[in-house]
């Protein structure tokens, strides 16, 4: 599945970066649907929900992927072909779509309790805001794919995702169990 | 006495007035007439009115009461003998249910309040009825560390001024809420944002900046009130930020600096001034006699990692004075050189008459620090006269942050956070609200992240330790604590003293309270239903005094969110 996706995306990314004719935002966004879902539901739980995500956050991630501050086997190639205005338009386009409910189950009480204690200590809602709904450059986490949340937090912790030093530092002090609880809890909100 | 009477304008006159005002944001002509007549003969906020704000028992014209930032309201209709009768006169609910830090401003019976995400409301201060509502259309990039807050507006002549999360300064028509101009103060993609209320003085609008957590270079800027043109900029970090290699803090405690390592880093990497932080979160005090302003400068960037920023990191963690007309440096005093704890200076300073070291009464400046001390300065040269007893426990100061975390008290929110002080000049007291939040300080070096959060480590609340707060009255002529009331939760928001012998403040648990200014005796309280984490104001209209406060909770201490503005009277 992954190899097929990579091949597909690499092909389309190549077409974005080499076709200079004016494209509509829908055309520009078409490549994204291959992974992030035509109707906003990603094709794999490892891929984040993009519809309804925060505009500033999407823009900064694309910018960082292009700069190389964030690395991803598929997205780095796609972002490399984008100009700043493309990134801004894509960010606006996806942020204006409705958030997709993945129908993930709520965490059970002990897991929720563990997650809330970690979140209180780390002051997560100080940035991600009440209900983990995010704003501007801070992503919405509530209802995001549990697998993606776990993967992302693990990558911050290992330093594999390095475009937010604060998240790296913060997550290093939490255990596998803490991160798993947080992922389950936040995904189920 | 500022009174307004419904019906003093004929319909025809009202329509004419509405026409003169131009289109209001209300779309129907009928609404325009209705709104316009409510303003009655609204006075322009002249410089003379602002100069005399400290003695104005009707209006609340400046964020901290007057230019000295005394937060002392001179009306005593509500006082120790009748405060027990205080009850809500009205409640206004805003559209935004999130952190509220607004200081209500009142001009002749019209109140201006703000919410998170930069909404502004004009309200009838008698009834709480909405007159207009302005929503700033925020750009895609806003960068803020501590909640989408806004602390209120400034008023000047016929305009209302708002500073925004996407680092703009906006001027609104006071009667209609329509935008007159907006100007970009700084680049939000590099970590600049605005949450403070601007200060209006002598045709200028003054603003600082947030961003000490993002590697900005801080400033205070003055803009032309009519046009939004930038008149001057004072960079809070000079190109030579090294200073004198101070090894002790303002109270004489060793900060355990490795000066040799810092000098080696300086030789290798040069002066770090371009990304050294130094935000200015709160309003300056204005000395109208000397034409100077006094403000405090926040922490260096990155907060916890000193290895990348050798030197004293001037003028971070300092009281600074500059000339109002030119923005030129006058004097400074640094509390903590090369801060690696975010133990910075945030609470706005106040100008007071104080006893100097010889007991002579001079013009002084006081500031409540995150350290838990109130610092008392000579206004002439910014020098330190004394510092108060610590208002909160201090332990392990100044242990250096470690990878695994070093425990030190106070926690990184203070002591006194951004919350303004109040004063009672006749008692010689300053009132502060404090936090006690035990934390561990962790350092982990990382390179400048070009506008992203850059703490150089982490502060962590120790979940097993008790947190609480207090309200403390300090005699600023001696530095002694006069009284102290411990509260259930850490306190953040603000405080107001009145000539009625009262002190008003709120708690995260929703209690809004009045204390006896001399003794701290609890005289009255009201459960507001959401965290009261905003500075109260007071005003009078139609001969009746009100106390008003926002109850919207707070992102920084994660108290219960709400969306209420509540005005109280004692009849």
**pLDDT tens digits, B258-285:** 999 999 999 999 999 999 999 999 999 9
Q: How far apart are CA B372 and CA B395, in angstroms?
A: 12
Residue for token pair 């704000």: B53
A55 touching B (Cβ < 8 Å): yes
B448 → chain A, closest CA residue: A165
CATH 1.10.760.10-classified regions of chain A: 2-95, 109-187
Which are the contacts of B25, defined by CB distance < 8 A and separation ≥ 6?
A: B132, B133, B134, B176, B177, B178
The token pair that represents B400 in the structure block: 């250096």
Does position B17 have pLDDT exceeding 50, yes or no? no
From B211's Cα to the closest Cα of chain A, the distance in A is 14
**pLDDT tens digits, B47-76:** 999 999 999 999 999 999 999 999 999 999
**Nearest CB neighbour to A91, from listed B140, B455, B458:** B140
From B465's Cα to the closest Cα of chain A, the distance in A is 11
pLDDT of residue A120: 86
Q: How far apart are CA B202 and CA B214, in angstroms?
A: 32
- The CATH architecture that domain A109-187 belongs to is Orthogonal Bundle (1.10)
Q: How far apart are CA A177 and CA B391, in angstroms?
A: 39
Which are the contacts of B307, defined by CB distance < 8 A and separation ≥ 6?
A: B261, B265, B445
Q: How far apart are CA B437 and CA B466, in angstroms?
A: 8
Q: How far apart are CA B327 and CA B284, in angstroms?
A: 12
**pLDDT tens digits, B491-529:** 999 999 999 999 999 999 999 999 999 999 999 999 999
Range scoring the smallest mean pLDDT among A129-143, B4-18, B198-212, B282-296 = B4-18
B455 → chain A, closest CA residue: A166
Contact check, Cβ <8 Å, A173/B457? no
pLDDT confidence bin for A125, thresholds 50/70/90:
confident
Which residue in the list B124, B342, B344, B378 is annotated as catalytic?
B342
Q: How far apart are CA B35 and CA B40, in angstroms?
A: 9
Contact check, Cβ <8 Å, B143/A137? yes
pLDDT (average), residues B444-459: 91
pLDDT of residue B450: 87
pLDDT confidence bin for B571, thresholds 50/70/90:
confident
A65 or B33: which carries more pLDDT confidence?
A65
Q: How far apart are CA B25 and CA B34, in angstroms?
A: 12
pLDDT of residue B41: 55
Does position B210 have pLDDT exceeding 70, yes or no? yes
**Nearest CB neighbour to A165, from listed B138, B142, B446:** B446
pLDDT of residue B26: 39
pLDDT of residue B417: 98
pLDDT of residue B227: 98
Tell me the three state secondary structure of residue B72: strand
| Contact list, A57 vs chain B (CB under 8 Å) | none
Does position A19 have pLDDT exceeding 90, yes or no? no
Tell me which fold the domain A2-95 belongs to.
Answer: Cytochrome Bc1 Complex; Chain D, domain 2 (1.10.760)
Does position B25 have pLDDT exceeding 60, yes or no? no
- Going by C-alpha positions, the residue among B473, B520, B517, B500 that lies closest to residue B569 is B500
Yes or no: say if B314 and B237 are a contact pair by the CB < 8 Å rule.
yes
pLDDT confidence bin for B8, thresholds 50/70/90:
very low
**Nearest CB neighbour to B452, from listed A55, A122, A164:** A164
Query: ipTM of the predicted structure?
Result: 0.76
pLDDT of residue B33: 44
| Residue from B458, B553, B562 to probe the interface with A (highest A Cβ count within 10 Å) | B458
B441 touching A (Cβ < 8 Å): no
pLDDT of residue A21: 55
B144 → chain A, closest CA residue: A127
pLDDT confidence bin for B40, thresholds 50/70/90:
low
Tell me the three state secondary structure of residue A116: helix
pLDDT (average), residues A1-30: 60
Instruction: Compute CA distances B101 → A6, A148, B199, B215, B564, whole Å.
Output: 48, 35, 16, 24, 11
Yes or no: say if B418 and B349 are a contact pair by the CB < 8 Å rule.
no
Does position A105 have pLDDT exceeding 80, yes or no? yes
> Strand B285-287 to strand B230-235: parallel, antiparallel, or no bridges (unpaired)?
unpaired
pLDDT of residue A170: 87
The DSSP output letter for B561 is P
Contact check, Cβ <8 Å, A169/B457? yes
Does position B28 have pLDDT exceeding 70, yes or no? no
The residues facing B280 across adjacent strands are B209
A20 or B174: which carries more pLDDT confidence?
B174
Does position B361 have pLDDT exceeding 60, yes or no? yes
pLDDT (average), residues B369-378: 98
Residue for token pair 């107001």: B496
pLDDT of residue B359: 96
- For chain A, the average pLDDT equals 89
In terms of phi and psi (left: phi > 0; alpha: psi -120 to 50; beta: otherwise), the region of A171 is alpha
CB contact residues (below 8 A), chain B span 274-313, against chain A: none
**pLDDT tens digits, B79-101:** 999 999 999 999 999 999 999 99
Does position B34 have pLDDT exceeding 80, yes or no? no
**Nearest CB neighbour to A136, from listed B141, B405, B449:** B141
B342 a catalytic residue:
yes
pLDDT of residue B363: 98
Contact check, Cβ <8 Å, A137/B145? no
Yes or no: say if B42 and B174 are a contact pair by the CB < 8 Å rule.
yes
pLDDT of residue A23: 80
Secondary structure of B147-209 in HEC code, one letter for each residue: CCCCCCCEEEECEEEEECCCCEEEEEECCCCCEEEEEECCCHHHCCECCCCCEEECCEEEECE
């Amino acid at each position: 599945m992954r190899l097929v996706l990579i091949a597909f995306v690499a092909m389309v990314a190549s077409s974005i970066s080499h076709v200079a004719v004016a494209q509509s935002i829908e055309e520009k966004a078409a490549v994204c649907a291959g992974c992030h879902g035509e109707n906003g539901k990603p094709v794999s739980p490892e891929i984040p929900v993009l519809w309804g995500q925060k505009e500033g956050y999407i823009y900064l991630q694309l910018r960082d992927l292009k700069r190389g501050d964030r690395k991803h086997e598929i997205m780095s190639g796609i972002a490399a072909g984008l100009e700043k205005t493309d990134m801004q338009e894509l960010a606006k386009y996806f942020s204006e779509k409705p958030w997709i409910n993945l129908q993930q189950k709520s965490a059970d009480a002990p897991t929720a309790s563990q997650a809330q204690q970690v979140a209180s200590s780390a002051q997560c809602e100080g940035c991600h805001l009440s209900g983990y709904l995010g704003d501007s450059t801070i992503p919405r986490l509530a209802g995001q794919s549990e697998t993606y949340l776990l993967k992302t937090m693990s990558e911050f912790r290992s330093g594999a995702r390095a475009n937010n030093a604060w998240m790296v530092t913060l997550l290093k002090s939490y255990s596998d169990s803490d991160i798993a609880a947080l992922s389950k809890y936040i995904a189920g909100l | 006495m500022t009174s307004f009477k419904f019906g003093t304008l004929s319909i025809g006159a009202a329509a004419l007035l509405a026409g003169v005002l131009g289109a209001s944001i209300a779309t129907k002509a009928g609404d325009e007439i209705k709104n316009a007549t409510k303003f009655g003969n609204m006075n322009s906020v002249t410089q003379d009115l602002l100069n005399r704000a400290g003695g104005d028992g009707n209006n609340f014209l400046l964020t901290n009461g007057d230019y000295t930032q005394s937060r002392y309201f001179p009306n005593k209709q509500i006082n120790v003998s009748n405060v027990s009768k205080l009850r809500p006169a009205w409640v206004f609910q805003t559209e935004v249910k999130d952190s509220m830090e607004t200081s209500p401003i009142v001009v002749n019976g019209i109140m201006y309040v703000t919410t998170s995400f930069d909404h502004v409301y004009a309200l009838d201060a008698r009834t709480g009825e909405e007159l207009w509502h302005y929503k700033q259309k925020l750009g895609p990039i806003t960068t803020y560390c501590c909640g989408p807050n806004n602390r209120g507006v400034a008023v000047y002549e016929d305009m209302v001024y708002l500073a925004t999360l996407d680092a703009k300064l906006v001027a609104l028509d006071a009667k209609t809420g329509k935008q007159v101009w907006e100007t970009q103060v700084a680049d939000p993609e590099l970590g600049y944002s605005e949450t403070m209320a601007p200060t209006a003085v002598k045709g200028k609008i003054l603003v600082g900046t947030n961003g000490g957590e993002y590697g900005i270079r801080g400033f205070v800027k003055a803009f032309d009130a009519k046009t939004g043109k930038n008149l001057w900029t004072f960079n809070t970090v000079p190109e030579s930020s090294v200073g004198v290699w101070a090894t002790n803090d303002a109270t004489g405690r060793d900060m355990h600096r490795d000066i040799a390592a810092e000098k080696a880093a300086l030789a290798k990497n040069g002066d770090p001034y371009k990304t050294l932080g130094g935000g200015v979160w709160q309003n300056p005090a204005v000395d109208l006699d000397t034409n100077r302003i006094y403000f405090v400068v926040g922490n260096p960037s990155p907060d916890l990692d000193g290895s990348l920023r050798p030197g004293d990191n001037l003028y971070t963690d300092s009281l600074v004075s500059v000339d109002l007309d030119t923005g030129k440096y006058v004097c400074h005093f640094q509390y903590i050189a090369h801060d690696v704890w975010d133990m910075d200076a945030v609470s706005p300073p106040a100008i007071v008459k104080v006893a100097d070291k010889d007991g002579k009464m001079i013009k002084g400046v006081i500031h409540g620090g995150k350290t838990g001390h109130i610092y008392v300065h000579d206004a002439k040269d910014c020098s330190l006269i004394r510092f108060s007893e610590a208002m909160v426990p201090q332990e392990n100061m100044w242990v250096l942050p470690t990878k695994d975390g070093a425990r030190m008290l106070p926690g990184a929110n203070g002591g006194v956070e951004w919350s303004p002080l109040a004063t009672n000049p006749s008692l010689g007291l300053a009132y502060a609200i404090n936090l006690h939040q035990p934390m561990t300080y962790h350092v982990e070096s990382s390179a400048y992240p070009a506008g992203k959060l850059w703490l150089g480590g982490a502060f962590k609340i120790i979940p097993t330790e008790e947190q609480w707060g207090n309200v403390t009255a300090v005699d600023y002529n001696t530095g002694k604590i006069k009284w102290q009331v411990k509260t259930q939760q850490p306190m953040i928001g603000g405080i107001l003293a009145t000539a009625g012998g009262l002190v008003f403040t709120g708690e995260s648990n929703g209690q809004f309270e009045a204390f006896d200014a001399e003794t701290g005796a609890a005289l009255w309280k009201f459960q507001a239903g959401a965290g009261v984490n905003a500075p109260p104001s007071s005003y009078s209209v139609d001969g009746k005094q009100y106390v008003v406060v926002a109850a919207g909770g707070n992102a920084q201490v994660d108290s219960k969110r709400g969306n209420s503005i509540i005005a109280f009277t004692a009849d």
